A = this chain, B = another copy of it.
Amino acid sequence: MQFEPDFTLPLTKTGKSQTVFPPPWYYGVTYIAAHVKLAGVGNLIPEFFRADGEGWVYIAEFISTSEHNWDFMYKEPDLVQYMEAAIGLKVEYEGRNYLYFPFMWVDKDWALVRGWLDGYPKKLANIRMTRLHPLLPKYNKVEPGLRLGGYATRGGGVMVRMEVQLKEKTDSLPLKDFGPLINIRRYPTRGDGEKDVYEVVSRQRDESKYGEIWKGDAKVTLEGYVNDELENVSVQQVYGGYYYPLYFRVSKTILLKRVEKVQVQS
């Protein structure tokens, strides 16, 4: 595999200072998630999407690395671990269903930048979720009745709070009916003649594997604050809560369409 030294900033001749190393990228994730029906999501999607409010909210812990920095696993754990929270929607785009994330928060810079490269609208937040320990007298394993939870706060506001109480194992996630991922790569031009990037893309997972999936009940609260417009979004129904590990690998996105940006008078 070839190594691209100028994939991302900062640019050095070796490429070893890059914020995000070139793909493939590996992801080991543990999710606390909820399948929900949301009201008031119209403001959260671009004009060219449609949404009926079916959604997927999660808090998750990621262990993730590029092929080129597995050594950070022991040399710099901060650059291969992050927390993530997100609000996903089933959207319709040109007659097909997709999974779109109008809001996504992480707690590391490289996770933020890597997300932006593929069109995820990541911001930084303070994200926490339940962790187990195999030797504790309680919370030592996944089992019926176990309560898990988490939250994301950003600046002066609470973005998401979740609780899930497990009931039983299940075979699959309702997420499989949401369709492929859809994202928007967006970097505005900053001067005459510069490239303006505004592309609808679909991020591809070239490998993927679920661990044991547990299902149960869930509670979800969305609040938002001045820079995260969740004040008009409400949770109408919670269909179920989930807890599961997932592995996947990402190498590229597929371009669906270039958005023609109307020039703004300045």
Contacts and interface: CB of A to CB of B under 8 A. Distances in A.
A63 B191 contact: no
User: Copies of this chain, how many?
Assistant: 4
A212 to B, nearest CB: 10
Contacts of A147: 71, 73-74
Contacts of A215: none
Given A11-B184, A227-B72, A153 B153 contact: yes
Interface in A110-144: 110, 112-113, 116-124, 126, 128-140
A117 B189 CA distance: 8
A191 B226 contact: no
Contacts of A17: 103, 227-229
Contacts of A228: 17
Contacts of A229: 12, 14, 16-17
A50 B153 CA distance: 35
B226 A163 contact: no
A214 interface: no
Interface of A: 1-2, 4, 6-14, 16-19, 22, 26, 28-30, 42-47, 63, 70-79, 81, 102-104, 108-110, 112-113, 116-124, 126, 128-140, 147-151, 153, 155-158, 161, 163-164, 184-188, 190-195, 197-199, 201, 204, 209, 211, 225-229, 245-247, 251-255, 261, 264-266
30 contacts: A4-B188, A6-B186, A6-B198, A9-B186, A11-B45, A11-B184, A12-B45, A17-B103, A17-B228, A28-B136, A63-B131, A63-B132, A63-B139, A73-B147, A73-B149, A74-B130, A74-B148, A76-B155, A77-B129, A79-B227, A117-B187, A117-B188, A128-B156, A133-B247, A137-B247, A185-B190, A187-B187, A191-B201, A191-B254, A194-B255
Those 8 A-B pairs whose CB atoms lie nearest each other, nearest first? A28-B133, A10-B121, A135-B247, A9-B121, A74-B149, A109-B124, A151-B156, A28-B136
